[in-house]
Structure 1
Amino acid sequence: MMRIGDTGQGPGRTWSGAGLAAAFVVVALLPMTYLHVIGAAVVDPFVTTISDYVGVPGGFALLAVAAGSLALAALVLAGGLAPAGLPRPDGPARMLASGAAALVVVALFPTNYPGTPVGIVANVHRVAGAWVFLSLPLACWLIARRAREASNWRPTAPALSWCAGITGVVSAVFLLSHLPMVLSDSLVVPLQGGLERVLYALVMLSLLATARALRFAVVGARSTAPVRNRLQTPAGDFGTGDLGRAA
């Protein structure tokens, strides 16, 4: 009996890992929500970034859990692209893996406490965070482009394209908003915190959209596998099947 993926056109496994990736995204959302609740009195969500919750009791650990969970989600998705039959999966898989690595760096190297000088550790945190906001939308866009080339991925391409496009635009605006701070040493960027929270929500949405596309690709290929099996019956089998018996 033929397994899904034996033709090289469909997934090589029937478990996509999409549910696990989605679960990691939800897990990441929980500590972020909790930090916003306990830090409401000291952190202005419209002005300060999420990283500034490091100054809240337990903030470092909770931020690390959130970043680590998103990293695991990205790694699960990266590992599922090739088995799910995405054409040329190496590029987007590497982008997802690099974004996961950057999230780990973000977790291990926290930003400076509010009101303290910016040091090397905080700068490492910022560079890694910038790469997260660049790599994950780019990975979603690469997946969307390749999805149009495979029948089991194609229906999800429009949603992936929209997620990647909107996230990419917001990411560019957010990153460019840091230029005044870099050029003039100003620490005040209007609504920077609010913009970052919108961006994080879009990054999570992009990961969830990728997980949905991954699941759709595996389920779609699984449902069409019996049809492919019948169409690929060797010519030599005629005469031994129903037609042969009827003759």
Structure 2
Amino acid sequence: MKGLLVSGFAAIGIGTGAMLTLHAEAGLDPLHSVISEYAFQESGWLLPASLTLFAVGSALIAEAMRRTGVNRWVVGLLLAWGASMFLIGAFPTDPPGLPLSLSGGIHRYAAFAAFLVMPVAGLLLVKARIRYAKAMKILCALALGALVLVVIPYVVRMFGIPLTNDDIPAGLTQRAVVVTELGVLALAGLSMLRHSLVGRPAVRQA
């Protein structure tokens, strides 16, 4: 189990490094530019590489949790998050100004799925009273709050109100979701690494 967790953290760490490198080299405005736009930069290949590493890290941590008897819903949600991360990287969004394509649609809804399932997994772990539950609860609340801010502009546009990312801090809110959810994943892994589940019967599979 320890090997799975260490490998998972390594994948997440390398993925984070790739993402930071992409941001540094692209030179876009992180306040308004969403992460998907970085795919169109010269170093854009780092985006799917980073997301794939996040997916691998999540799968490894999920497997470690499965082996310790953690609730199967938590394991499934972590795997769903990883699968969504992979789809986000495999199906790039559309360039600005173009109508929504199949690839862009998969990208968009996979991102929404990923943003939603990780806080749910985290709250299930909080309910099970794992180590770092208090910090995880805070991160889940921040992730859900940021997700609401991400969704609001899409709802506004559905009513025909023109709103561009330059009018709102779209990049900031999206990054807040990603950072907090990576934090939830990291705490989940750390709780297993310490192997110290307080309410262990509550997280065992039925």
When normalised by structure 1's length, the TM-score is 0.73
Conservation of the 8 A alpha-carbon contact between 2:153 and 2:163: no
Alpha-carbon distance in 1 for matches of 2:24, 2:36: 15
Alpha-carbon distance in 2 for matches of 1:186, 1:55: 24
Query: How far has the Cα of 1:188 moved from its partner?
Result: 0.6
Match for residue 106 of structure 1?
A: 88
Query: How far has the Cα of 1:23 moved from its partner?
Result: 1.5
Match for residue 7 of structure 2?
A: 20
Alignment of 1:56-95 (within 5 A): 56-59=41-44, 61-86=45-70, 89-95=71-77
Query: How far has the Cα of 1:202 moved from its partner?
Result: 0.9
Alpha-carbon distance in 2 for matches of 1:139, 1:81: 12
Please give the secondary structure, in 2, of the residue aligned with 1:213: helix
RMSD: 1.9
Is 1:51 matched up with 2:33?
no
Q: Which amino acid aligns with 1:62?
A: L
Conservation of the 8 A alpha-carbon contact between 2:139 and 2:180: yes
Change (3 A) 1:198 1:137: same
Alignment of 1:75-224 (within 5 A): 75-86=59-70, 89-146=71-128, 148=129, 153=130, 155-184=131-160, 186=162, 188-189=164-165, 190-217=168-195, 220=196
Query: How far has the Cα of 1:101 moved from its partner?
Result: 1.1
**Unpaired segments ≥5 residues, structure 1:** 1-12, 222-247
Alpha-carbon distance in 2 for matches of 1:65, 1:214: 26
Residue-pair matches, total: 195
**Unpaired segments ≥5 residues, structure 2:** 198-206
Query: How far has the Cα of 1:106 moved from its partner?
Result: 0.7
Alpha-carbon distance in 2 for matches of 1:180, 1:143: 33
Please give the secondary structure, in 1, of the residue aligned with 2:93: coil
Q: Which amino acid aligns with 2:37?
A: D
Conservation of the 8 A alpha-carbon contact between 1:46 and 1:194: yes
Alpha-carbon distance in 2 for matches of 1:63, 1:133: 17
Alpha-carbon distance in 1 for matches of 2:127, 2:170: 31
When normalised by structure 2's length, the TM-score is 0.86
